[in-house]
Protein backbone atom coordinates (compact mmCIF):
# COMPACT_ATOMS: atom_id res chain seq x y z
CA UNK A 1 0.00 0.00 0.00
CA UNK A 2 2.77 2.44 0.92
CA UNK A 3 4.67 1.77 -2.31
CA UNK A 4 1.52 2.46 -4.34
CA UNK A 5 0.94 5.64 -2.34
CA UNK A 6 4.49 6.85 -3.10
CA UNK A 7 4.04 6.00 -6.77
CA UNK A 8 0.86 8.10 -6.96
CA UNK A 9 2.53 11.04 -5.19
CA UNK A 10 5.45 10.95 -7.65
CA UNK A 11 3.00 10.74 -10.56
CA UNK A 12 1.04 13.75 -9.26
CA UNK A 13 4.10 15.91 -8.65
CA UNK A 14 5.65 14.87 -11.96
CA UNK A 15 2.52 15.59 -13.97
CA UNK A 16 1.30 18.85 -15.46
CA UNK A 17 -2.12 18.54 -13.80
CA UNK A 18 -0.66 18.08 -10.32
CA UNK A 19 1.47 21.23 -10.57
CA UNK A 20 -1.30 23.19 -12.30
CA UNK A 21 -3.75 22.44 -9.48
CA UNK A 22 -1.35 23.85 -6.88
CA UNK A 23 -0.41 26.87 -9.00
CA UNK A 24 -4.01 27.73 -9.97
CA UNK A 25 -5.21 27.42 -6.36
CA UNK A 26 -2.48 29.71 -5.02
CA UNK A 27 -2.75 32.18 -7.91
CA UNK A 28 -6.53 32.59 -7.70
CA UNK A 29 -6.63 32.86 -3.90
CA UNK A 30 -3.69 35.28 -3.92
CA UNK A 31 -5.33 37.56 -6.48
CA UNK A 32 -8.70 37.64 -4.73
CA UNK A 33 -7.22 38.09 -1.24
CA UNK A 34 -4.61 40.72 -2.04
CA UNK A 35 -5.18 42.27 -5.50
CA UNK A 36 -8.77 42.23 -6.75
CA UNK A 37 -11.08 44.63 -4.85
CA UNK A 38 -14.16 43.09 -3.27
CA UNK A 39 -15.48 41.22 -0.27
CA UNK A 40 -12.53 38.78 -0.26
CA UNK A 41 -9.81 41.45 -0.33
CA UNK A 42 -8.05 41.52 3.05
CA UNK A 43 -6.60 45.09 2.98
CA UNK A 44 -9.92 46.53 1.73
CA UNK A 45 -11.94 44.94 4.52
CA UNK A 46 -9.62 46.25 7.20
CA UNK A 47 -9.79 43.18 9.46
CA UNK A 48 -7.03 40.76 10.37
CA UNK A 49 -8.76 37.62 9.16
CA UNK A 50 -8.45 34.91 6.51
CA UNK A 51 -12.19 34.43 6.11
CA UNK A 52 -11.91 35.23 2.40
CA UNK A 53 -9.60 32.25 1.86
CA UNK A 54 -11.98 29.86 3.59
CA UNK A 55 -14.93 31.17 1.57
CA UNK A 56 -13.10 30.84 -1.75
CA UNK A 57 -11.33 27.52 -1.20
CA UNK A 58 -14.41 25.22 -1.22
CA UNK A 59 -15.43 26.57 -4.63
CA UNK A 60 -11.93 26.26 -6.05
CA UNK A 61 -11.56 22.71 -4.73
CA UNK A 62 -14.96 21.90 -6.22
CA UNK A 63 -13.29 22.16 -9.64
CA UNK A 64 -9.65 21.37 -8.83
CA UNK A 65 -10.16 18.18 -6.80
CA UNK A 66 -12.05 16.38 -9.62
CA UNK A 67 -9.14 17.35 -11.89
CA UNK A 68 -6.80 15.59 -9.45
CA UNK A 69 -8.89 12.45 -9.02
CA UNK A 70 -10.28 11.96 -12.53
CA UNK A 71 -7.35 9.80 -13.64
CA UNK A 72 -6.88 7.70 -10.49
CA UNK A 73 -8.88 4.68 -11.63
CA UNK A 74 -10.22 5.84 -15.02
CA UNK A 75 -6.73 5.85 -16.50
CA UNK A 76 -5.97 2.43 -14.99
CA UNK A 77 -9.12 1.05 -16.62
CA UNK A 78 -8.36 2.68 -19.96
CA UNK A 79 -4.83 1.26 -20.12
CA UNK A 80 -5.81 -2.11 -18.65
CA UNK A 81 -3.43 -1.82 -15.67
CA UNK A 82 -6.34 -2.10 -13.22
CA UNK A 83 -6.13 -5.88 -13.54
CA UNK A 84 -2.47 -5.80 -12.51
CA UNK A 85 -3.28 -3.61 -9.51
CA UNK A 86 -5.97 -6.00 -8.36
CA UNK A 87 -3.44 -8.83 -8.26
CA UNK A 88 -1.21 -6.96 -5.77
CA UNK A 89 -0.95 -8.53 -2.29
CA UNK A 90 -3.18 -5.85 -0.75
CA UNK A 91 -6.93 -5.70 -0.29
CA UNK A 92 -9.12 -3.70 -2.65
CA UNK A 93 -9.88 -1.23 0.16
CA UNK A 94 -6.16 -0.67 0.80
CA UNK A 95 -5.73 0.01 -2.91
CA UNK A 96 -8.47 2.63 -2.72
CA UNK A 97 -6.94 4.16 0.42
CA UNK A 98 -3.56 4.50 -1.29
CA UNK A 99 -5.16 6.49 -4.12
CA UNK A 100 -7.21 8.55 -1.65
CA UNK A 101 -4.28 9.52 0.58
CA UNK A 102 -2.18 10.46 -2.44
CA UNK A 103 -4.89 12.86 -3.59
CA UNK A 104 -5.25 14.20 -0.06
CA UNK A 105 -1.52 14.85 0.17
CA UNK A 106 -1.66 16.97 -2.99
CA UNK A 107 -4.35 19.09 -1.33
CA UNK A 108 -2.08 19.48 1.70
CA UNK A 109 0.71 20.63 -0.63
CA UNK A 110 -1.63 23.31 -2.03
CA UNK A 111 -2.60 24.48 1.48
CA UNK A 112 0.88 24.71 2.98
CA UNK A 113 1.94 27.84 1.01
CA UNK A 114 -1.21 29.65 2.24
CA UNK A 115 0.47 29.76 5.66
CA UNK A 116 2.32 32.73 4.13
CA UNK A 117 -1.06 34.48 3.91
CA UNK A 118 -1.57 33.72 7.59
CA UNK A 119 1.89 35.09 8.46
CA UNK A 120 1.25 38.23 6.38
CA UNK A 121 -2.06 38.95 8.11
CA UNK A 122 -0.48 38.19 11.49
CA UNK A 123 2.30 40.74 10.90
CA UNK A 124 0.11 43.38 9.21
CA UNK A 125 -2.46 43.37 12.00
CA UNK A 126 -2.74 46.38 14.28
CA UNK A 127 -1.52 45.43 16.81
CA UNK A 128 0.71 42.69 15.40
CA UNK A 129 -0.82 39.27 16.01
CA UNK A 130 -4.41 40.50 16.23
CA UNK A 131 -5.62 37.67 13.97
CA UNK A 132 -7.63 35.02 15.82
CA UNK A 133 -5.12 32.15 15.62
CA UNK A 134 -7.45 29.51 17.12
CA UNK A 135 -10.29 30.31 14.73
CA UNK A 136 -7.87 30.22 11.78
CA UNK A 137 -6.59 26.76 12.70
CA UNK A 138 -10.19 25.60 13.08
CA UNK A 139 -10.89 26.85 9.55
CA UNK A 140 -7.89 24.95 8.21
CA UNK A 141 -9.17 21.78 9.88
CA UNK A 142 -12.59 22.29 8.28
CA UNK A 143 -11.08 22.89 4.83
CA UNK A 144 -8.94 19.76 5.15
CA UNK A 145 -11.98 17.59 5.93
CA UNK A 146 -14.05 19.22 3.18
CA UNK A 147 -11.31 18.41 0.66
CA UNK A 148 -11.19 14.84 2.01
CA UNK A 149 -14.85 14.29 1.09
CA UNK A 150 -14.30 15.86 -2.34
CA UNK A 151 -11.39 13.47 -2.93
CA UNK A 152 -13.39 10.45 -1.74
CA UNK A 153 -16.19 11.43 -4.15
CA UNK A 154 -13.63 11.90 -6.93
CA UNK A 155 -12.07 8.48 -6.30
CA UNK A 156 -15.56 6.95 -6.41
CA UNK A 157 -16.41 8.72 -9.69
CA UNK A 158 -13.10 7.66 -11.24
CA UNK A 159 -13.84 4.01 -10.44
CA UNK A 160 -17.09 4.09 -12.43
CA UNK A 161 -15.65 4.86 -15.85
CA UNK A 162 -12.55 4.60 -18.03
CA UNK A 163 -13.08 8.13 -19.39
CA UNK A 164 -11.34 10.91 -17.45
CA UNK A 165 -13.71 13.65 -18.70
CA UNK A 166 -16.76 11.68 -17.59
CA UNK A 167 -15.06 11.06 -14.25
CA UNK A 168 -14.39 14.79 -13.84
CA UNK A 169 -17.98 15.80 -14.63
CA UNK A 170 -19.46 13.12 -12.39
CA UNK A 171 -17.19 14.07 -9.45
CA UNK A 172 -17.99 17.76 -9.95
CA UNK A 173 -21.75 17.10 -10.02
CA UNK A 174 -21.72 14.83 -6.96
CA UNK A 175 -19.50 17.21 -4.98
CA UNK A 176 -21.80 20.14 -5.76
CA UNK A 177 -24.89 18.16 -4.73
CA UNK A 178 -23.32 17.29 -1.39
CA UNK A 179 -21.83 20.75 -0.90
CA UNK A 180 -24.90 22.92 -1.63
CA UNK A 181 -27.53 20.81 -3.40
CA UNK A 182 -29.02 19.34 -0.23
CA UNK A 183 -29.11 22.83 1.28
CA UNK A 184 -31.14 24.15 -1.66
CA UNK A 185 -33.63 21.29 -1.39
CA UNK A 186 -33.87 21.62 2.41
CA UNK A 187 -34.74 25.32 2.11
CA UNK A 188 -37.58 24.70 -0.36
CA UNK A 189 -40.26 24.46 2.34
CA UNK A 190 -40.10 20.75 3.15
CA UNK A 191 -41.44 19.40 6.47
CA UNK A 192 -39.03 20.02 9.36
CA UNK A 193 -37.87 16.40 9.70
CA UNK A 194 -36.86 16.21 6.00
CA UNK A 195 -35.25 19.63 6.24
CA UNK A 196 -33.11 18.40 9.14
CA UNK A 197 -32.09 15.19 7.36
CA UNK A 198 -31.08 16.97 4.15
CA UNK A 199 -29.28 19.71 6.07
CA UNK A 200 -27.30 17.07 7.95
CA UNK A 201 -25.97 15.60 4.70
CA UNK A 202 -24.94 19.01 3.39
CA UNK A 203 -21.16 19.45 3.47
CA UNK A 204 -21.60 23.21 3.68
CA UNK A 205 -23.42 23.09 7.03
CA UNK A 206 -20.66 21.09 8.70
CA UNK A 207 -17.89 23.06 7.01
CA UNK A 208 -19.32 26.40 8.15
CA UNK A 209 -19.48 25.08 11.71
CA UNK A 210 -15.80 24.13 11.84
CA UNK A 211 -14.63 27.15 9.80
CA UNK A 212 -15.96 29.40 12.58
CA UNK A 213 -13.30 27.92 14.81
CA UNK A 214 -15.50 25.39 16.59
CA UNK A 215 -14.47 21.73 16.36
CA UNK A 216 -17.69 19.80 16.93
CA UNK A 217 -17.44 16.01 17.26
CA UNK A 218 -20.64 15.65 15.19
CA UNK A 219 -19.00 17.43 12.26
CA UNK A 220 -15.85 15.30 12.49
CA UNK A 221 -17.95 12.12 12.53
CA UNK A 222 -19.88 13.33 9.47
CA UNK A 223 -16.72 14.13 7.46
CA UNK A 224 -14.97 10.87 8.34
CA UNK A 225 -18.15 8.81 7.87
CA UNK A 226 -19.01 10.25 4.43
CA UNK A 227 -15.44 9.83 3.19
CA UNK A 228 -15.43 6.20 4.38
CA UNK A 229 -18.79 5.62 2.71
CA UNK A 230 -17.54 6.63 -0.75
CA UNK A 231 -14.23 4.81 -0.30
CA UNK A 232 -15.97 1.62 0.87
CA UNK A 233 -18.37 1.65 -2.10
CA UNK A 234 -15.41 2.28 -4.42
CA UNK A 235 -13.62 -0.78 -3.04
CA UNK A 236 -16.72 -2.89 -3.71
CA UNK A 237 -17.15 -1.64 -7.28
CA UNK A 238 -13.53 -2.20 -8.33
CA UNK A 239 -14.21 -5.82 -9.27
CA UNK A 240 -16.98 -6.53 -11.76
CA UNK A 241 -19.80 -8.64 -10.40
CA UNK A 242 -18.94 -7.96 -6.75
CA UNK A 243 -22.40 -6.58 -6.01
CA UNK A 244 -23.99 -9.81 -7.26
CA UNK A 245 -22.31 -11.80 -4.50
CA UNK A 246 -24.54 -12.51 -1.51
CA UNK A 247 -21.72 -11.96 0.99
CA UNK A 248 -20.81 -8.59 -0.50
CA UNK A 249 -24.45 -7.47 -0.45
CA UNK A 250 -24.68 -8.33 3.25
CA UNK A 251 -21.44 -6.48 3.99
CA UNK A 252 -22.68 -3.38 2.17
CA UNK A 253 -26.01 -3.45 4.00
CA UNK A 254 -24.33 -3.90 7.40
CA UNK A 255 -21.86 -1.08 6.69
CA UNK A 256 -24.61 1.35 5.65
CA UNK A 257 -26.78 0.50 8.66
CA UNK A 258 -23.83 0.92 11.04
CA UNK A 259 -22.82 4.21 9.42
CA UNK A 260 -26.29 5.72 9.63
CA UNK A 261 -26.63 4.47 13.21
CA UNK A 262 -23.42 6.28 14.14
CA UNK A 263 -24.67 9.42 12.38
CA UNK A 264 -27.97 9.28 14.30
CA UNK A 265 -26.31 8.70 17.67
CA UNK A 266 -23.77 11.48 17.04
CA UNK A 267 -26.55 14.06 16.56
CA UNK A 268 -27.47 13.57 20.22
CA UNK A 269 -23.88 13.70 21.43
CA UNK A 270 -22.69 17.27 22.00
CA UNK A 271 -18.97 17.76 22.41
CA UNK A 272 -17.53 21.02 21.08
CA UNK A 273 -14.15 22.73 21.38
CA UNK A 274 -14.30 26.50 20.85
CA UNK A 275 -10.87 27.47 19.48
CA UNK A 276 -11.63 31.19 19.13
CA UNK A 277 -9.58 33.58 21.25
CA UNK A 278 -12.60 35.17 22.97
CA UNK A 279 -14.68 31.95 23.09
CA UNK A 280 -17.42 33.79 21.21
CA UNK A 281 -19.16 30.55 20.24
CA UNK A 282 -19.49 29.32 23.78
CA UNK A 283 -22.75 30.05 25.61
CA UNK A 284 -23.25 30.63 29.29
CA UNK A 285 -25.18 28.00 31.24
CA UNK A 286 -28.22 30.30 31.39
CA UNK A 287 -28.19 30.82 27.60
CA UNK A 288 -27.88 27.08 27.06
CA UNK A 289 -30.88 26.44 29.32
CA UNK A 290 -32.98 29.08 27.53
CA UNK A 291 -32.09 27.65 24.10
CA UNK A 292 -32.63 24.05 25.27
CA UNK A 293 -36.14 24.89 26.50
CA UNK A 294 -37.22 26.42 23.20
CA UNK A 295 -40.17 24.35 21.98
CA UNK A 296 -41.32 26.65 19.19
CA UNK A 297 -39.92 27.63 15.80
CA UNK A 298 -38.54 31.16 16.12
CA UNK A 299 -38.20 33.49 13.14
CA UNK A 300 -36.05 36.61 13.41
CA UNK A 301 -36.05 39.32 10.76
CA UNK A 302 -32.76 41.19 10.43
CA UNK A 303 -32.73 44.50 8.54
CA UNK A 304 -29.09 44.33 7.58
CA UNK A 305 -28.65 43.47 3.92
CA UNK A 306 -27.50 45.12 0.71
CA UNK A 307 -24.28 47.06 0.10
CA UNK A 308 -22.70 47.16 3.55
CA UNK A 309 -19.41 48.67 4.67
CA UNK A 310 -16.87 46.16 6.09
CA UNK A 311 -17.83 46.92 9.69
CA UNK A 312 -21.51 46.15 9.09
CA UNK A 313 -20.59 43.05 7.08
CA UNK A 314 -18.63 41.87 10.11
CA UNK A 315 -21.63 42.56 12.37
CA UNK A 316 -23.95 40.67 10.01
CA UNK A 317 -21.62 37.66 10.00
CA UNK A 318 -21.39 37.64 13.79
CA UNK A 319 -25.19 37.63 14.04
CA UNK A 320 -25.32 34.65 11.66
CA UNK A 321 -22.78 32.84 13.79
CA UNK A 322 -24.56 33.58 17.07
CA UNK A 323 -27.84 32.22 15.70
CA UNK A 324 -25.96 29.12 14.50
CA UNK A 325 -24.62 28.57 18.03
CA UNK A 326 -28.09 28.91 19.57
CA UNK A 327 -29.40 26.37 17.04
CA UNK A 328 -26.89 23.83 18.34
CA UNK A 329 -28.73 23.73 21.66
CA UNK A 330 -32.28 24.52 20.54
CA UNK A 331 -34.59 21.53 19.82
CA UNK A 332 -36.60 23.74 17.43
CA UNK A 333 -35.01 25.86 14.68
CA UNK A 334 -34.24 29.54 15.14
CA UNK A 335 -34.48 30.97 11.63
CA UNK A 336 -33.05 34.24 10.41
CA UNK A 337 -34.65 36.23 7.60
CA UNK A 338 -32.41 38.89 6.08
CA UNK A 339 -34.12 41.99 4.65
CA UNK A 340 -32.67 45.01 2.86
CA UNK A 341 -33.94 48.01 4.81
CA UNK A 342 -34.05 50.20 1.70
CA UNK A 343 -36.25 47.69 -0.13
CA UNK A 344 -38.44 47.32 2.96
CA UNK A 345 -38.96 51.08 3.09
CA UNK A 346 -39.64 51.24 -0.62
Among 214, 215, 185, 219, which Cα is nearest to 199's? 185
**Among 219, 228, 220, CA closest to 200:** 219
Give the pLDDT score at 346: 47
Say which residue, 242 or 95, is predicted with more confidence. 95
Nearest CA among 36, 89, 96, 56 for reference residue 72: 96
Q: How confident is the model at residue 144 (pLDDT cuts 50, 70, 90)?
A: very high
Residue 69 has pLDDT above 60, yes or no: yes
Give the CB-side neighbour count of residue 7, counting CA atoms within 13 A: 9
Per-residue pLDDT averaged across 178-194, rounded? 83
Q: Fill in the DSSP letter of residue 295.
A: -
pLDDT of residue 237: 85
Side-chain half-sphere of 178: how many Cα atoms within 13 Å? 25
pLDDT of amino acid 342: 61
- What is the C-alpha to C-alpha distance for residues 240 and 201, in angstroms, rounded to an integer? 29
pTM value > 0.85: yes
Q: Give the 3-state DSSP-derived string for 208-248, with helices as H, strands as E and coil as C.
A: HHHHCCEEEHHHHHHHHHHHHHHHHHHHHHCCCCHHHCHHH
Listed by start position, the domains of the chain span 2-282, 284-346
Average pLDDT over residues 186-209: 83
Average pLDDT of the residues in 226-249: 86
State how far the Cα of 268 lies from the Cα of 242, in Å rounded to an integer.
36
Distance CA 286, CA 288 (A): 5
Amino acid sequence: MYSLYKKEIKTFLGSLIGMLVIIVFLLVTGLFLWVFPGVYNIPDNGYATLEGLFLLAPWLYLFLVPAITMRLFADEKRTGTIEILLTHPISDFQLVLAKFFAGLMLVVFSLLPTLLYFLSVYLLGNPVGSIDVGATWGSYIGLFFLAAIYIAIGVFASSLTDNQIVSFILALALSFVFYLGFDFIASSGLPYIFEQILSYFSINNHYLSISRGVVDMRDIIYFVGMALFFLFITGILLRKGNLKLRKVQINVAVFIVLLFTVFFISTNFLFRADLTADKRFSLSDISKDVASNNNNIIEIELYLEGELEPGLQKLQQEIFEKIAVLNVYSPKPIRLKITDQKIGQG
